[in-house]
Amino acid sequence: MGRAYRLLFDHGFTRLDPELAHHGAFRAIRAATPLASRLICAPDRRRVGASAQVHALGLAFPHPLGLAAGFDKNAVGIDALAALGFGHVEIGTVTGRPQPGNAKPRLFRLPEDRAVVNRMGFNNDGADVVARRLAAWREQTRRLDGSGASRRADSPVLGINIGKTKVVPEEEALADYAHSTRRLAPYADYLVVNVSSPNTPGLRDLQAVEKLQPLLEGVRRVADEASPDRRVPLLVKIAPDLSDDDVLAVADLALAIGLDGIIATNTTITRDGLRSDPATVEQIGAGGLSGAPLTARALEVTRMLRGRVGPDLTLVGVGGITTVQDARDRLAAGADLLQGYTAFIYEGPLWPRHIVRGLAAVG
């Protein structure tokens, strides 16, 4: 079926507007959740077994592979995505205020490179709406479980990725992140501060350690206040375009302030080494590039971080993971967990199962 999907994608889906195709595919995934749970997720859970579990961030992940932020921005399909085989789902990026994102078109494919360019601009419903949705989801989870537990055994680990509202000036960024944290931390298994999207003006400036430290410390304080009965793990997501020195500076900061983990990496603004027609790439214009061209740098950053932070800090490897070998390489470089997004688009709904089975087979 994987080969059939690739043929359908290359000769059919590429004719559709990428953003409309995304919304249509996501609706189909949600509609097919009961079937997917029976045919895909449950058999794989028995086949992979407890040996694939990863213990990180004080949590038990059923296996290393999760879905990166960006696919489910508004927490509308968590169980549906888990039913395809993702062990953790990271929703968002969610901002303090609702916002429509950048002008369309804002999502583009580069099929020759198995890559995507996006300049979505954190389009989402805002922290208040997403919090209400998550409250309802958690309540439904408790009812279905019947035990009063906050999460069913077959539910994914839930990450919540938060970012800055575009219209909020830099000097008010902490208050904006704090609002999202206050509303969303009670529902998060882990929380991610996104300061690395290239599509919100000035956001990446917050990666400088002198700005990043007070931001992360402020979010930590608010998360503790919002969820006093448990400590919500806090991570930061960084860009692959940071210099090596800046990557190491973030690693040192994470250790100094007791951060729980780092997600490496977000999309890139570089366009080096692409096979796509340069005129096409130029016509697409600005935005973050994801997919296969990111593999080498994301792997390098992961290896660099692990060498700096030692064995205890959790590293999440994301960026250009397409094959089982890519996943193996990222784990060997020091990642505890993995995330995908672009390969899911290009390889189809059976891709998570393929990666998880492949890792289990060599594990």
Query: Pick from 244, 165, 164: which is nearest to 212 by CA?
Result: 164
Is 108 known to sit in a ligand binding site?
no
> Would you call 197 a catalytic residue per the annotation?
yes
The count of other CB atoms within 10 Å of the CB of residue 228 is 8
Is 93 known to sit in a ligand binding site?
yes
Is 320 known to sit in a ligand binding site?
yes
Q: Which amino acid is at 342?
A: T
Is 123 known to sit in a ligand binding site?
no
| CA–CA distance, 321 with 324 (Å, rounded to integer) | 8
Is 266 known to sit in a ligand binding site?
yes
Question: Under a CB-based contact definition with an 8 Å cutoff, are residues 87 and 65 in contact?
Answer: yes
Is 72 known to sit in a ligand binding site?
yes
Is 342 known to sit in a ligand binding site?
yes
Is 69 known to sit in a ligand binding site?
yes
Is 341 known to sit in a ligand binding site?
yes
Instruction: For 213-235, give the DSSP string.
Output: HHHHHHHHHHHHHH-TTS---EE
209-226 vs 173-184: helix crossing angle, rounded to 10: 30
Rg of the chain over CA atoms, in angstroms?
19
Is 50 buried (19+), middle (13-18) or exposed (0-12) by CB count in 10 A? exposed
Is 124 known to sit in a ligand binding site?
no
Is 73 known to sit in a ligand binding site?
yes
Catalytic residue, chosen from 155, 180, 196, 197, is 197
| CA–CA distance, 119 with 136 (Å, rounded to integer) | 30
Instruction: For 280-304, give the DSSP string.
Output: HHHHH-SSEEEEGGGHHHHHHHHHH
Binding-site positions for substrate: 73, 118-122, 194, 199, 266-267
Binding-site positions for FMN: 69-73, 93, 161, 194, 237, 265, 291, 320, 341-342
Binding-site positions: 69-73, 93, 118-122, 161, 194, 199, 237, 265-267, 291, 320, 341-342
User: Which residues are tagged catalytic?
Assistant: 197
